[in-house]
Amino acid sequence: MMTAIKQVTVLMVCSLVVCARGEFFTSTDKISQLFEEENFLLGTFSLYIDAEEEIVKGMKRDLLLLQLGTYLDPVDPEEIKDPVAAFKLLMRLRDEWLKIEKNTQNSLDKHNVYQILLEYAQIPQVEDLKGAALGLISLQELYKLYPHNITKETSLNANEAYVVGLFAYTEHKFQHAFLWFMYSLERLTEYSTITKEELLRYISDSAYHFGSIPVAIYFGQQLSNLDPTNNDVKVLLNQYRLLRFQRTSNPDIFTLNTKSSKYERLCRGEVDERTSRRQRALSCRYSTGGGNPRLMYAPVKEEVEWDEPLIIRYHDIISDTEIEILKNISRPLLSRSKTKGGVTKIRTSQSVILDEGHPVVARVNQRIADITGLSMESAERLHVQNYGIGGKYEPHYDEWNDETGRIATFLIYMSDVEKGGATAFTKVGIALKPKQGSAVFWYNLHKNGNVDLKTEHAGCPVLWGNKWVANKWIHKFGQEFRRPCSLSYWE
């Protein structure tokens, strides 16, 4: 195909040289040259069409493969719940479309509409792919999942698994890298672009890095058998054999993440302090917000999730339609969430701060004011968040050293989450499951104004599902007379 294009280019240049001489009408001999010229042009045009046809054929083949891919692995982007399917989609978009971009660059068409379109298309960046792969790995770490566990619903092919392994490898997570490379090796087919040699090399190297020299030797030997002329491998194997006697550690590769924090155990559902406190008055009742007229006829169902600090769940405080509208106005505005240190790995979600002017936002604000009896005057605007693959927010306080003045937090769940995604109160030992339409409320400050250290909480990684929340941070200013009287049972 490329030779045809070159031929055309060369011919076109020559043709221009001939034409540039001009003045045909003054000589019959010159006119007779035109016959040759015409033949030449016809030949060139024919070659040009052949070249274009080659390109089109290639593009049609790519298109067919892509259509086949989306057909075999259909993904509804709005409804993406499976972190593995999400990774697959990101990788497909990135790899396949970049390949197509490269192919269409060869087109002879100067006004390559497709190239222009791709420039503006939202092709995932390497960062996205890396984030998705590391999201998978953090899920595996936290929920103790092997590659075959996490790919139960959606499997990865050899190339995809290799990419996950590679990101794990570059992050020095060698045990995970090892497992993903092994997974890739099992799924190697004639269509895989990754080779057995490459995988064996990485498997051996990962094993070496997490300190299992015998395993490194075993796979290094396999590689050497496959390619007996490779002297590098032989040298490496000799080094490993020497090291075998120096190192005594031979960690079991299947014991990942042995020491867990309370946060992790809470997220896995291994801890629930509520069971021991059941006897105490963790109750459920209807509230009228201390006699608020707007709630008199439609009382809010409230449930005490914890007594000290008081953490209350309000049920059905926002309708499905209102949630859909909030999501609809948030979607185009979502941007990567920031913590105090800017965009970090501590929080992996996208968020948007909504304009108070929207009628639904105003209605939700009013409802929060009615339920809590607190003034919304100095509160922050409604902060909507959608979590990504393995999306989480590690343990934190909403209020630091009296800096932000966030006296209380009203956290609205705008979706259910099938697996993971709980709000874990790490000092207390409870994990609250998101339930669409409900909200939890707590005070971040003691009445004396000190931060209540028991309010440390975290958003557990989302293992399966879509997590949407809206936060309302209520500030001190304006509450001087409200907190003591309208909510008398608050400490």
Ligand X SMILES: *[C@@H]1O[C@H](CO)[C@@H](O)[C@H](O)[C@H]1NC(C)=O
* Interface ranges with ligand X (CB under 6 A): 144-146, 149, 321, 324-325, 328
Query: Taking the complex as a whole, how short is the minimal distance between the CB of residue 234 and ligand X, in angstroms?
Result: 36
Nearer to ligand X (CB atom), residue 149 or residue 238 = 149
Shortest Å distance, C-beta 389 to ligand X: 18
Please provide the distance, in angstroms rounded to a whole number, between the alpha carbons at the two ends of the chain: 78
Tokens matching residue 474? 């209520």
* Cβ closest to ligand X, residue 59 vs residue 325: 325
Of the pair 193, 321, the CB lying nearest ligand X is at 321
The CB-of-452 to ligand X minimum distance in angstroms stands at 34
Provide, rounded to whole angstroms, the least separation between the CB of residue 392 and ligand X: 18
Nearest-angstrom CA–CA distance, 105 and 55: 10
Nearest alpha carbon to residue 413 among 299, 285, 317: 317
Instruction: Report DSSP state, residue 342.
Output: B
Give least dist CB 145 to ligand X, A: 5
Q: Which is nearer to ligand X, 39 or 149 (CB)?
A: 149
For the CB of residue 328, give the shortest distance to ligand X in the complex, in Å: 4
Q: Which is nearer to ligand X, 78 or 403 (CB)?
A: 78
Min separation Cβ 325 and ligand X, Å:
5
- Dihedral angle, C-alpha 445, 448, 450, 456, nearest 10 °: -30
CB 81 within 8 A of CB 465: yes
State whether the Cα torsion 65-67-71-77 is positive or negative: positive
Q: Which two tokens stand for residue 287?
A: 């509230």
Q: How far apart are CA 112 and CA 115, in angstroms?
A: 5
Closer residue to ligand X (CB): 256 or 353: 256
Cis preceding-peptide flag for 147 (omega within 30 of 0): no
Q: Which 8-state DSSP code applies to residue 448? A: T
Q: How would you list the strands of the sheet with 349-353, edge to edge?
A: 284-287, 300-307, 310-315, 439-443, 406-413, 468-475, 383-387, 349-353, 335-336
Shorter beta-carbon distance to ligand X: residue 194 or 326: 326
